Amino acid sequence: MSSTLKSMKALADPNRLRILLLLEQEELSVAELQDILATGQSTISTHLSQLKAAGLVEDRRNGKNILYRMMEQPDALLGLMHAAEQEMEECAHDRQALQLALQRRGDRMRAYFDELAGKFGKHYVPGRSWKGLAETLLKLMPPLVIADLGAGEGTFSQLLAQRAEKVIAVDNSDRMVEFGAELSRSHGIHNLEYRKGDLETPPIEDGSVDLAFFSQSLHHAQHPSKAVAEAFRILKPGGRIAVLDLKRHHFEEARELYADLWLGFTEAELVGFLRKAGFSRVEAAVVHKEDQAPHFETVLVTGEKPAC
């Protein structure tokens, strides 16, 4: 049987079609699909197994969970799927339920960082090394308007503000933003502004900053490549990006201990994110290796937004 016929046979079931339409939009676990579709675990697993066998779905392990996503499909098949979607009343509900599921993901991460507010610097955080930060500082040419994306309580933002024209610290945790803002006020730092926002939709105007900086925050993004693309958007022509993050590792406990969504990135992955977003003069290097287990390594990747 041809792959096209296998695909059409698999999608003849409306519930499998609903699942595939959801997985076209976002990677999801079996538990999340259960919540969205109000269907039992065994039924969801059976449908996913059939979609995989038809070459429509692939999966990857994410800590204790397995996430499923739709594989790249021909335009003709996508057209049929979307045409059928218009005839299914359930799909509108599915889209709303998907947004709630993604919101719950974000709420869990925000709860983790709300709990940590005021504790950074007192507890160990993987990849947070002064050597790595110093390497990054050497790349800067003041005075600059800097966006610190995923700033936490703003420890590094405050360092940057000592020499920058202005620093915009963005974080999606209310308590982190409140704590950092109060800390900067108490230290008399007037060129540091905290804004509540997500890495993938930072509340910063197009072409308004000289440097976009991610310090150990990109591995918390649902879609790292989208976060990098947003950094490109907010940069002025000729502006620069700096990403300081963990090199790909296998310390699975980081997902529970530090709410990490990604176990770091390879240098090639980070370079790929920057080049896909449109950055030029991309450079990458490992700038720190920890002596103690699990021996985290820190990667610094920089790039430039073309001047025209």
CATH code, domain with 142: 3.40.50.150
In this structure, what token pair is assigned to residue 199?
């890495």
Length of the chain: 308
Residue 41 contacts residue 32 (beta carbons within 8 Å)? no
Q: What is the pLDDT of residues 3-59, one digit of tens each?
A: 767 777 888 888 999 999 999 988 898 988 988 888 889 999 999 999 998 889 999
- pLDDT profile of the chain (308 residues), mean per 10: 71 89 90 88 91 90 85 86 87 86 75 67 64 63 88 85 90 91 90 94 96 94 95 97 93 86 92 96 90 90 92
Q: Does 113 map to a domain?
A: no
The number of folded domains in the chain is 2
Exposed / middle / buried, residue 302 (Cβ in 10 Å: 0-12, 13-18, 19+): buried
CA distances from 96 to 39, 89, 100, 293, 300 (A): 16, 12, 7, 43, 38
Tell me which residue range forms the domain holding 192.
130-304
The answer to the question of residue 258 being in a domain is yes
Contact 274, 282 (CB under 8 A): yes
275 and 210, same structural domain?
yes
Does 295 share its domain with 179? yes
